[in-house]
Amino acid sequence: MFLSLSFIIIFGLLCFFFLLMFSRVFHTEHHKKLIVYTPPSYPIIGCLLSFYKNRYCLLDWYTKLLASSPTKTIVVHRLGAPRTVVTASAENVEYMLKNNFLNFPKGEPMNQILGDFLGRGIFNVDGDLWSAQRKLASHEFTARSLRELVMKTLEEEVDGRLSPLLEAAARNSSVLDLQDVLRRFAFDTICKISLGSDPGCLSSSDSSAESLVDAFDKASEISARRGMAPVFAVWKCKRAFNVGSEKKLREHIKVVHDHVEEIIRVRKQEKANNIAAGAGSDFLSRLLDAGHKDEVVRDMVISFLVAGRDTTSSALTWFFWLLSKHPNIETTVIKQVLSSDDQKTLNFDHLREMNYIKACLCESMRLYPPVAWDSKHAANDDVLPDGTPIYRGNRVTFSPYAMGRMENLWGNDWLEFKPDRWFDEQGKLKMISPFKFPVFQAGPRVCLGKEMAFIQMKFVVASILRRFEIRPVCESQPVFVPLLTGYMAKGLYVRVHMREGYNNN
C-alpha cells in the first residue's frame, strides 16, 4: 500500500516535470485572430523561470522582447503576479496617459509596493488627493518666486560647494565619483527648495547628513526591488514578519520620516512665532499654508525629494559620460557654454537659450532615462489601440528605456548619441511627442518640474564645463541599473582638470 502510494506520487511528479520541460505554452495569446506576444512560458508557472533567470537584466530582456513584437507590446504571465502588459508603443502610451487616463490609475498594487516609503505623496496616489496636490503644485511651479529661489539656490550651491570641490580634485589630481557628487549636490539643492533646510551633504562630513542620504538611497532601492521581485509573496511575507530587507526598509524609512517630520515641526513653530527667515519662500511653507495634514505634507515632500534629487543627477551622470565619448559634440557644447560675454553670469534667460545643451540632455535621457519604466493598473476591462486586451486589475507598464531603443520610433541609428536628431531642417528644436519620449510622463500627470529640471541641468552643465574638463578613468561601458530612478552601477569615476583659458578671478 505504502509502495503503491509512493509510486503514484513519484509518477505524478515525473509527469509534471515532463510537461514542464516539453510542453511549453505557445508564445502567443489569440484574441479574435489577434496574436499577442508573450515570453517563453510553461503551464501554471507561466514565464516565472525566464523572469527569474533574467531578474538582474530585466529591463534589457523586456526591451529585446518588445523589439521582436510586431506591435511593440508583450503580455507577461507568471505565478504569483497579475497579468502584466508591457508596451513600447507610442499610441498605447498616449491612450494610457491621456485618451483614457481615468482607466489607468497607479492603483492599489502600486501603492502596496511604494506606499511604505512614498506614502500618500503625489507620485503614489490617485483621485481627489492626487488632484488636490497636483493643483497646489501646479500653482507653485508657475510662480516667479520659485524660479528666483531655484536660481539663487543653484548659484549658492555651485559657487559655494560644487566648484570648490572640483577645483580641489583638479589641484590634487584625485579621482571623484561624479555620480555621487551630483547626487549630493542635487539633494542639497532640492532640500533647500522644498524644505528650506540645508543638509550640507556635498561639503559636510556630518554623520546625520550621511545617515539621511544613506537611508534615502536604501529605502528607494528596497522599495523598487519589491516591484521587480519574481514572486511578490516573498517580500510580503518578509514585511509581515519584519525580517530581512523589509526590516531594513522599515528602519531606513524611519530615519527619513523622523528627519522630515522634525523639519516640519520646526517650520510650524517658526511660522507660529512669525519668524520670517527661512519660513515663507520654500515649498514646505506653502504646503503648510494650504492646510494639509502633517502626514500628507511629509509624504508630498518626500516625493519631491525623490524627483528633484535622483532624476536630475541620473540624467547628468549619463550626460557627462556620453559627452566624454563624443569629443565633436563636446566641442559644440563648450562653444555654447563659452558664448556668453560674461562667463561669470548664468541668468535664467541665457539658460533657456541653450538649445544645443537641451538637445544633448534629451538625447542622453532617450538612451538612459531617469525613470526607466512606469506602471498603471487597469480599473476596468479595456483594449489598447494595437488591439491588446486589458482586463481589470492588469498591470500595464510602459518603458521609456525600451522606447528609446525602438527602430520604428527613432530609426536604425537609435543606438547612436545624436543630438542633431532633436533639430528640424531650420535648426530649431523639434516638438517631439511626449508619448514617443515619455521621460517626463505626459497627459494629466506630466511632470510639473520639467522646465525647472532643464534649467537646473543646464546650469550645472554650463557651470562645470566653463571651468573644468571631466575625463572618466574607466573606458568600459557602464551598466544601467533601473530602480525608482536609473543610475550607473559602481558610479562614474573621473579626473578633473581646470579648463585652459578660464579666468578664475
In a domain, 484, yes or no: no
Q: Which three cell numbers stand for residue 55?
A: 531578474
Residue 64: domain span? 22-105+375-403
In a domain, 236, yes or no: no
Answer whether residue 27 shows pLDDT above 70: no
Check residue 208 and give its pLDDT: 67
In a domain, 46, yes or no: yes
pLDDT in tens, 452-476: 899 999 999 999 999 999 999 998 9
> CB–CB of 405/437 below 8 Å?
no
Per DSSP, 186 falls in state: H
Check residue 13 and give its pLDDT: 43
In a domain, 91, yes or no: yes
Handedness of CA 357, 359, 361, 367 (dihedral sign): negative
User: Which residue from 222, 171, 117, 96 is spatially nearest to 467, judged by alpha carbons?
Assistant: 171
Residue 231 exposed, middle or buried by CB count within 10 Å (0-12, 13-18, 19+):
middle
What does the mean pLDDT of the chain come to? 86
Strand-pair category, 84-87 with 395-398: parallel
Q: Strands (DSSP E) along 77-200, which ranges?
A: 84-87, 175-177
Answer whether residue 97 shows pLDDT above 70: yes
Using a pLDDT cut of 70, give the percent of the chain over it: 88
pLDDT in tens, 392-435: 999 999 999 999 999 999 999 999 999 999 999 998 999 999 99
Using a pLDDT cut of 90, give the percent of the chain over it: 54
pLDDT grade for 23, boundaries at 50, 70 and 90: very low
Cα–Cα distance, 395 to 106 (Å, whole number)? 9
Average the pLDDT over 371-382 and give the result: 95
CA atoms within 13 A of residue 287's CA, in its CB half-sphere:
28
pLDDT in tens, 122-171: 888 888 888 888 887 787 777 677 788 889 999 999 999 999 999 999 99
> CB–CB of 480/486 below 8 Å?
yes
Please list, in sequence order, all residues whose beta carbon lies within 8 angstroms of the beta carbon of residue 240, skipping any fewer than 6 positions away: none
In a domain, 141, yes or no: no
Answer whether residue 11 shows pLDDT above 70: no
In a domain, 331, yes or no: no
In a domain, 62, yes or no: yes
Cα–Cα distance, 253 to 276 (Å, whole number)? 31
Higher pLDDT, 346 or 12: 346
Answer whether residue 332 shows pLDDT above 80: yes
- CB burial of 424-444 (b: ≥16 within 10 Å; e: otherwise) equals eeeeeeeeeebbbbbbbbbbe
Average the pLDDT over 310-318 and give the result: 94
Answer whether residue 19 shows pLDDT above 80: no
User: Which residue from 267, 274, 250, 348 is spatially nearest to 301, judged by alpha carbons?
Assistant: 267
Average the pLDDT over 58-77 and give the result: 94
Count structural domains, the chain.
1
Calculate the dihedral angle through the C-alpha atoms of 219, 222, 224, 228, rounding to the nearest 10 degrees.
180
Cα–Cα distance, 225 to 326 (Å, whole number)? 34
pLDDT in tens, 172-200: 999 999 999 999 999 999 888 888 888 88
Q: Which three cell numbers stand for residue 71?
A: 506591435
In a domain, 84, yes or no: yes
Average the pLDDT over 428-446 and give the result: 94
